[in-house]
Amino acid sequence: MTYFKCSPGRSLSGSIRVPGDKSISHRSIILSSIADGSSTIKGFLEGEDSLNTLKAFQAMGVSIEHQADKIIVNGVGINGLSKPAKKLDMGNSGTAMRLLIGLLAGQNFDSELIGDTSLSSRPMNRVIDPLRSMEAVIDSDINGTAPIRICGQSNLQSIEYDMPMASAQVKSCLLLAGLYAKGETIVREPAPTRDHSERMLRGFGCNVSTKGNEIRVAGGQRLSANDIDVPADISSAAFFLVAASIAENSQLTLKHVGVNPTRTGVIDILRLMGADIVLSNHREIGGEPVADLTVRSAKLKGIDIPQELVPLAIDEFPVIFVAAACADGITRLTGAAELRIKESDRIQSMADGLNILGINAVPSEDGMSVTGGHIGEGNIESHGDHRIAMAFSVASLCASGPVKIFNCANVNTSFPGFVELASSVGIRIISDE
């Protein structure tokens, strides 16, 4: 079992580039595989989650080549995937499983998706139910969990679907299924969510229209090969944004970070707390906005996190809770019930860990109240959740003594090389077994 040994830190400095965006990496493989022609992907995240997506499409007959710093995907066309010889293992990735359920529902072969223990406990009914409305034939475990068995058929029907909860995974799943449905599929979201799927579909020549909260895609469209340069992942950058904010006398620059407005909730929240974050060198690459982020240490204050920012920072809340623990006053989060069904129950996992370190963190059904204070030393259980492990690594910067974090092997799912990169800028962390 891999664990992290973290010592109280010092100031952070330097200029770094964190790994490629995981959400975009998943989607780049999926759309390149069903496009006509060969696509080149640069900056692909070589983490376990996105590599499992890559392996799944290789198992369905797609030729994918690694060449130095790029990946070449030889697309097979919208109807060119073939039946895999075995179950498709999505490992720890809820994104991969939910998106592939939508894609596989419209194929002309049967398939089965499995995952690790954590993923096999995560609910899939929120994609299965609307897909069944499209006449998809899908079977799951009794609790709506993996393994997911899909009886592929080419008779999907378009639907209009009002999503009860804001979720980019559900939206993307239905848009992928909509490519194989008769007629026009319409998805309405109750709040904005990341729009990587819509942007990338357009990049591959697909007509996807967005008006307000409504997204439309017509079935029967073909995709054309497209080259992709994956920006650095803002979810990975978030750990360093908080780290440099809470460690005294710090200045750190994060290069080539994706700043899609549906993903920058963490920047907005930290700025409301008083963080000093400056964006520069703005540009657009492959339809995605990119910038360099420079963060300097700052005195943070507790806030009531605005509801409209919650969907735009849903993956970054573990480290935002760490920022709250170092802030003056109370930070309150509501409207984030989705955190309870991530790789771990992130509300309870973070509350338990913060309390062990002497911080008053009170969980609620859909959020948490964190009173800033002095972080102590202690042993933390990450529950195999990569973001919990990395968040408490950041917390160690302000701890009074060593922080030991257990069950950290899954950090490689989203951030290969985290320990080495964190150490290079001043976080005192050692990985051991």
Active site residues: 315
Beta bridge partners of 378: 403
Look at residue 312 and give its three-state secondary structure. helix
Report the distance separating Cα 9 and Cα 242, nearest Å.
13
CA distance 390 to 408: 8
Give the chain's end-to-end CA distance (angstroms, integer): 5
Cα-to-chain-centroid distance, residue 318: 13
Tokens 């750190």 correspond to 252
Residues 6+ apart with CB under 8 A from 279: 259, 267, 291, 292, 293
Is the CB of residue 56 less than 8 Å from the CB of residue 62?
A: no
Tokens 């007509």 belong to residue: 207
The candidate with the shortest Cα–Cα distance to 173, out of 81, 101, 93, is: 101
Question: For the packed helices 94-104 and 125-133, what is the interaxial angle rounded to 10 degrees?
Answer: 10
